[in-house]
Amino acid sequence: MSLSDFLSIRDLSVDEIKRLLDLACQVKANPAACASALKGKTLAMIFEKPSLRTRVSFDVGMEQLGGHALYLSPDEIRLGRRESVHDVAKNLERMVQAIMIRTFAHEIVVEMAEHAAIPVINGLTDFSHPCQALADYLTMLEVKGRVAGLKVGFVGDGNNVAHSLMFAGALLGAHVRVATPPGYEPNRDALLWAIRHSIGTGGSCIVGNDPVQAVTDADVVYTDVWASMGQEAEAEKRRRNFAPYQVNAALFARAKPNAIFMHCLPAHRSEEVTAEVIDSPRSVVFQQAENRLHVQKAILLELLAKEVTEAQQVVRHELMPL
């Protein structure tokens, strides 16, 4: 496996996504084995959208791998206004070893990768959130012992998180069911991609408007905020339209008795989920959040550690079946 960038789950093969999850399991089980793998290397972190988990997990991840992370705020770059994407890419490639960018339009990440001669990582766009999807499926793997065949019910907005959940589920053989209010369905091309790539893995992907149907007999129930960053003007309208899609005790009871609840955070209790669900023993939201650190360390190692170090070779971890 030799990735040059990490822009979307859609860019991965089945073997590549499994390899990243395997590596994430290894670095989580034995973080000391890779403590100097990225010594002398710097990651530039461009934030057009703020984030707690993305900022901390990449910053701490680079430090734990022996490298350094450099935070660049929106005001410092003003991407596309003060400086073009092309010029930012060409400057950074001469000073750092990789770029992580968290922005709005997916095209910005693609353009950055086209112009930068160093690896580019998608920390989030309006279209996809691939780091989150890897953390999600690592969590499912840890809790359920497998991913293939799991029924994953996503209720809420057909957004970037839903897209990447569908993409990764298709590659790993999960059955992803998405329920949104009419007019808020996932991107059609994203759905068609997930359906096509599910065929060879034994998985499936279905989108509809019935939340009960999506979560009935599910192994995993997943939701996200109703209004993401950049959608503040729609917040009140969305609250009205999404009210029937709240994950509460009644809806969660439709899932399997041992189903888990997932949320990519931040969460708005009493909106998309009630406190009795997200704060219950069956909620794994903070395990999910922690796993952002481990999967992103795996991504950084895959992109920046061109040769497997002796320390990595001595890692021994009994991998769980995918």
Is residue 208 scored above 70 in pLDDT? yes
Residue among 253, 251, 285, 252 nearest 268 (CA)? 285
Q: What is the largest CA-CA distance in the chain?
A: 56
Q: Which pLDDT belongs to residue 22? A: 98
Q: Which pLDDT belongs to residue 316? A: 39
Domain architecture of the chain: domains with CATH: 9-128+292-313 (3.40.50.1370), 131-286 (3.40.50.1370)
Catalytic entry in 264, 288, 294, 296: 264
Q: List residues bridging with 99 in a β-sheet.
A: 44, 120
Please tell me the chain's helix, strand, coil percentages from 3-state DSSP, rounded to the nearest 5. 45, 15, 40
The Cα–Cα gap between 213 and 209 comes to 9
Catalytic entry in 10, 53, 102, 197: 102
Is residue 149 scored above 90 in pLDDT? yes
Is residue 307 scored above 50 in pLDDT? no
> In terms of pTM, does the model score above 0.75?
yes
Q: What is the residue whose two structure tokens read 């003003």?
A: 78
Contacts of 161 (CB under 8 A, 6+ apart): 129, 132, 133, 224, 264
Catalytic entry in 26, 64, 97, 132: 132
Average pLDDT, the chain: 93
When pLDDT is averaged across residues 19-34 and rounded to a whole number, the result is 97
Is residue 310 scored above 80 in pLDDT? no
Query: Is 240 labeled as catalytic in the residue annotation?
Result: no
Catalytic entry in 5, 97, 224, 294: 224
The Cα–Cα gap between 313 and 280 comes to 39
pLDDT tens digits, one per residue of 28-77? 999 999 999 999 999 999 999 989 999 999 999 999 999 999 999 988 88
Query: Is 132 labeled as catalytic in the residue annotation?
Result: yes
Per the model's pLDDT, the better-predicted residue between 204 and 322 turns out to be: 204
User: At 2, is the pLDDT very low, low, confident or very high (cuts 50, 70, 90)?
Assistant: low
Catalytic entry in 177, 197, 292, 294: 292
pLDDT tens digits, one per residue of 152-175? 999 999 999 999 999 999 999 999
Catalytic entry in 10, 106, 129, 177: 129
Q: Do the Cβ atoms of 238 and 226 come closer than 8 Å? A: yes
Query: Is 55 labeled as catalytic in the residue annotation?
Result: no
User: At 319, is the pLDDT very low, low, confident or very high (cuts 50, 70, 90)?
Assistant: low
Query: Is 213 labeled as catalytic in the residue annotation?
Result: no
Residue 133 neighbours by CB distance under 10 Å? 27
